[in-house]
Amino acid sequence: MSLNYSIVIPVHNAERFLANLIKQLHDIEYQSYECLLIENGSTDDTWETLVKLTANDEVCRAFQVPPHGPGAARNYGIEHAHGKYLLFLDADDPIQSDILLQYDQIALQNDDDLIISSFQFDTMRENKVVVSQKYQLTDHVFTNQSDFFDNLYDLMNRQFAYVIWNKRYRLDLLIDHQIRFPDFFSCEDRIFNIRYFKYCQRVYTTSKVLAIYRYDAAHGLTTRYDPDKFSTFKQWYQEAIDLLGDRATAGISALYLKGLTSTIFSIIRTKKIDRKHKKAEVKLVYFDKSVRHAQQQAITDSKIKTLTKLLYAFPFPIFYLAVSTGSFLEYRLPAVIEKLKRNY
């Protein structure tokens, strides 16, 4: 079976979203596509509901994998996809009915390795949108890898290059180069993209808003504690530096400090470890060689980057007091903090 598109969607504790999700997938105005819905370790009735809703469905197929995070579910989707192109979406995000037609129209010659779209980012609180912001690209094509890499820091800094839900990927590149998501619960999308970018020669950016992402500021993965979160960010930093080298060391270092700050906020906020262990864990991050290197190298092309670089230069007791305050503010004023992050 040969199709133009495969849409891969992990579904974890998503029972309440499934009926609307499947309706949206069937409403897509296109012929040659499939949807792979992959349940991974839900504790509600997601799997039972998914099986019921996709019975005898020619478009949506249901799969179940062990609970190893969204990356493992997406890897299963890659390995079972039949489409020439892949989209990775989330179960709770709105899907535009013309999304596949729009992607087709962007690259009429079909010789692209990657399409990166503009997107809308909705910050949610108690199921309500508290901030909605559009991130706008211009219509452009990078015709060689060097040109793309010269602009990759800018795309990362403006939030376009990290995520996976605003992109169209080529399945053959993923298969031929054995590109998969690492088995992490955070930062796996950033690392996946870095590994994919390595093989991109022709890349489109589009002004069309083809993705709407809804982020739960209180319960999203970026604010959730994970004892391995620092090591995953560190791996992304090292792989990004290896990929781009002198082109973007200063910029990548600044973005690393930003990611680490969110990581530290999640350590301070968690109830899984006591205050003593929180401080010890933050101290390990602060004194890590990669963090000290990033503090020295980080670019200061904005006020927030300048303040962040200064923050990591403070003696540890002052640093810890500052990030503890920041963590509290992130919880109490999520929309404000999210806006600061997005304008980094």
| Secondary structure of residue 58 in the 3-state scheme | coil
For residue 77, the surrounding DSSP H or E stretch is: helix 69-80
Range with lowest mean pLDDT among 13-27, 108-122, 236-250, 275-289: 108-122
pLDDT of residue 215: 80
**Nearest Cα to 17, choosing from 40, 46, 37?**
46
33-40 and 60-65 beta bridge pairing? parallel
Residue listed under structure tokens 């990775």? 88
pTM of the prediction? 0.91
Decide: 115 and 106 in contact? Cβ < 8 Å.
yes
pLDDT at 16: 92
In whole angstroms, how far apart are CA 15 and each of 8, 72, 294? 17, 20, 42
Specify the range with the lowest mean pLDDT, choosing from 56-65, 94-103, 109-118. 109-118
Closest alpha carbon to 27 in 53, 67, 60, 55: 60
Q: Could you tell me the fold of the domain covering 3-216?
A: Spore Coat Polysaccharide Biosynthesis Protein SpsA; Chain A (3.90.550)
Structural domain spans, the chain? 3-216, 221-342
Length in residues, the chain = 344
Q: Dump pLDDT digits (tens) for 201-253.
A: 999 999 999 999 988 765 544 557 787 889 999 999 999 999 998 899 999 99
Other Cβ atoms within 10 Å of 47 Cβ, number = 17
Residue 144 above 70 pLDDT? yes
Q: Under a CB-based contact definition with an 8 Å cutoff, are residues 113 and 199 in contact?
A: yes
| pLDDT band per the 50, 70, 90 thresholds, residue 341 | low
**3-state secondary structure (DSSP) of residue 174:** helix
Please give the share of the chain, as a percent, with pLDDT higher than 90: 75
Over residues 6-32, the mean pLDDT reads 95
